[in-house]
């Protein structure tokens, strides 16, 4: 079967190949091609680029390549892109991605003594090689002078033990289970867990191996993985 000369291009832009009786010029095809979507600008903007927006066949101008596990992404000025069969599209910030510097217009957020940086609703924490994408901190409300309860149900990603007390870790925050619900607690340095979530990332600092779970650092010991302070703060 003979392939029409424009078929390859048409498959990229979603056009049907027409016969010689209805010729389609390249200029017409470009007119109907998906158009790049501009990213939102401005300090602390919460109106980021549309996830899934097509930005072009070639890598976005000025973007750099970043690797998260086995997946490759492109990054530029607070916006993340992934490659698809049609070209590059805007994607959600992949958790665990590390960037060398924060985009202009980011804001600094302190949650229970822990410092986060936010840009376009993406949260970062400082890491040895830059800033790492993490889950947003859990929002809590004060119900009494000593008890703070999560505003939404919390699904633990990891259980740690401080002596005989079990604590739950999610989104970089720790909770203990009570009859009234989950109650926030300060970071339990020295708490242990036998296993870590599969998406825990490895960080090396001064030849010492750390494991990062949503911004909380662990070190491997004979008794399990121990919660430790951030060494580069």
Cβ atoms within 10 Å of 78's Cβ, excluding its own: 22
| Same domain as 222, residue 153 | yes
| Same domain as 150, residue 76 | no
* Structural domain contains residue 12: yes
Alpha-carbon torsion 110, 113, 116, 121, what sign?
Answer: negative
Residue 171 per-residue DSSP state = T
| Same domain as 145, residue 76 | no
| Partner residues linked to 131 by β-bridges | 99, 126
Q: Which domain holds residue 29?
A: 7-40+49-92
| For residue 45, pLDDT beyond 80 | no
The 10s digit of each residue's pLDDT in 98-147 is 999 999 999 998 887 788 899 988 999 888 788 988 888 765 443 334 44
pLDDT at 154: 37
Question: Would you say 50 and 34 are in contact if contact means Cβ atoms under 8 Å apart?
Answer: no
* Structural domain contains residue 193: yes
pLDDT at 162: 92
Average pLDDT over residues 172-189: 81
Alpha-carbon torsion 189, 190, 196, 202, what sign?
Answer: positive
Rg (CA), the chain: 23
Average pLDDT over residues 188-209: 89
The 10s digit of each residue's pLDDT in 138-179 is 654 433 344 444 443 333 468 899 988 899 887 778 888 877
Can you tell me the distance from the alpha carbon of 15 to that of 92, in angstroms, rounded to the nearest whole number?
A: 28
pLDDT at 35: 47
* Structural domain contains residue 15: yes
| Same domain as 154, residue 216 | yes
pLDDT at 221: 95
* Count of structural domains within the chain: 2
pLDDT at 122: 92
Query: Per DSSP, which regions of 79-164 are E strands?
Result: 79-84, 87-91, 98-99, 107-111, 114-119, 122-127, 130-134, 140-142, 148-150, 158-162
pLDDT at 109: 87
């Amino acid at each position: 079967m003979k392939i029409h000369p424009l078929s390859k291009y048409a498959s990229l832009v979603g056009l049907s190949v027409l016969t010689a009786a209805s010729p389609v010029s390249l200029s017409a095809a470009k007119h109907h091609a998906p158009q790049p979507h501009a990213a939102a600008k401005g300090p602390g903007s919460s109106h980021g680029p549309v996830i899934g927006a097509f930005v072009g066949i070639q890598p976005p101008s000025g973007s750099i390549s970043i690797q998260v596990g086995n997946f490759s992404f492109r990054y530029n000025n607070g916006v993340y892109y992934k490659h698809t069969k049609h070209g590059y599209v805007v994607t959600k910030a992949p958790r665990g991605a590390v960037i060398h510097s924060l985009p202009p217009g980011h804001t600094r957020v302190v949650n229970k003594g822990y410092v986060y940086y936010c840009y376009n609703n993406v949260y970062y924490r400082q890491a040895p090689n830059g800033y790492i994408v993490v889950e947003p901190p859990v929002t809590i409300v004060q119900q009494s002078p000593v008890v703070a309860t999560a505003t939404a149900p919390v699904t633990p990603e990891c259980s740690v033990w401080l002596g005989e007390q079990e604590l739950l870790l999610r989104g970089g925050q720790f909770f203990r289970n009570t009859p009234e619900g989950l109650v926030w607690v300060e970071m339990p340095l020295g708490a242990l867990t036998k296993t870590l979530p599969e998406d825990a990332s490895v960080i090396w600092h001064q030849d010492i191996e750390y494991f990062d779970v949503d911004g909380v650092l662990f070190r491997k010991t004979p008794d399990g993985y121990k919660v430790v302070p951030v060494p580069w703060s």
